Amino acid sequence: MIRYPCTGHVRADGFGAFLEASLGAPRANLHAFAAELSAMFEAPFVTPVSSGSSANLAGAFALAEKVGVGRAAVSAFTFPTTVSALSMAGFSPVFVDTAPGSFQLDPAAIPADVKVVAVTHFLGYPAPIVRGFAVLQDACETMAMRLDGVPIAHLADVTTFSFYHPHHMSSYGGGAVVTRDAELARVIESVSHWGRACTHHLPDERLPCAAPEGPEHFFHYVRPGFNLEMSELNACFGRWSLLRYAMDEERRARHFAQLIESVGPSVIAYPRPPGVTPAVFPITVRDGDARPLIDRLLARGVEARTCMGGVIADHPAFAGLPHDGLRHARDLARRSFFVGIHQALEDVEGMARIVAEETR
């Protein structure tokens, strides 16, 4: 059975030797991983954290301090912890519909009175650039995406990434918060490290320490905070994964090509974004409901899943939050699902053959 739509068996050939050679002083791999990601994302400030959800939490608290709390626009298709992070930071989320036929929010539907827009590159497909608001950009389902040639970290106040294993690049649990704003970076570091003022855990002087001297120097707290730091072991695995990233992306691209060439005329497939692979392979039936097709694929051993549970506003946890009706998103959710293209998947050719037969 093709069991997992996102990933398969984990291979870590060579990681043991890399770990033995790389473990050293405390935070050595955290510092090195942050520097390597900074070069990849073309952004000066990278804070490795324990997950993509932790990244959204730190980013939301930092934006609340910068722009003040108020309403926050969130796409109808997003991950629950993006909404939860904004709520915990004091924002009032309002859900925004997607553009017709798209998984991405419609900029024209954003209310004028919001303080922050949470832009989600849902399933790894690029969302439109949003201007005129503070932007928390959830890029957890993509990596080295560029829009019009510009690295996505340049297009938002705060950008968050996830290195959960099924995503593009794994630190076997972890994520990162990325910004080009030094003051936001200072708040993100503080929120991620208990709310303290001290920045001596960083390897350089780009964020000079503001904590008073004395025996309490390391424990001077200036805001509510959390312990969101990535572990040294996860950072080491992330560094090892970065060495394999180009090879893994090439394999994902081959999987994507196998599937998009297989789909039949009864469904819609979405072209690969320029220069990157999406997180998964979404499929939309042209008419009716996707459930009969999902059931047929499951019966033949292909695991298919709805798009992160569908419209987030329709889940009990968020049912009381306001929205604009979400007509386009709800229609697309009813007709859509995804299968996997992860680099660890085996027999994607067999999966593509089954998808071809069931969609013709």
Answer whether 15-238 and 242-358 agree in fold.
Answer: no
Q: How confident is the model at residue 194 (pLDDT cuts 50, 70, 90)?
A: very high
Give the pLDDT of residue 1: 46
Sign of the CA dihedral 83, 134, 42, 27? Answer: negative
Kindly state the average pLDDT of the residues 190-195.
Answer: 98
Helix, strand, coil percent content, the chain, rounded in steps of 5: 40, 15, 45
| Tens digit of each residue's pLDDT (9 = 90 or more) over 55-90 | 999 999 999 999 999 999 999 999 999 999 999 999
Question: What does pLDDT average to over the chain?
Answer: 94
Q: Which long-range contacts (CB under 8 A, 24 or more apart) does 289-296 make?
A: 289/334, 289/335, 290/334, 290/335, 290/336, 290/337, 293/267, 293/337, 293/358, 293/359, 294/337, 296/358
- Spans of all domains in the chain: 15-238, 242-358
Tell whether the model's pLDDT for residue 2 goes beyond 60: no
pLDDT in tens, 276-298: 999 999 999 999 999 999 999 99
Q: Is the pLDDT of residue 201 over 50?
A: yes
> Is 6 a residue whose pLDDT tops 80?
no
The pLDDT score that the predictor gives to residue 5 is 63
Q: Which CATH class is domain 242-358?
A: alpha beta
Which pair of structure tokens corresponds to residue 266? Answer: 């009864």
Domain 15-238 part of CATH 3.90.245.10 = no
Q: Report whether pLDDT(203) > 50.
A: yes
Whether the predicted pLDDT of 103 surpasses 70:
yes
Taking the C-alpha atoms of residue 70 and residue 245, their distance in angstroms, rounded to an integer, is: 39
Residues in the chain: 360
For residue 4, the model assigns a pLDDT of: 56
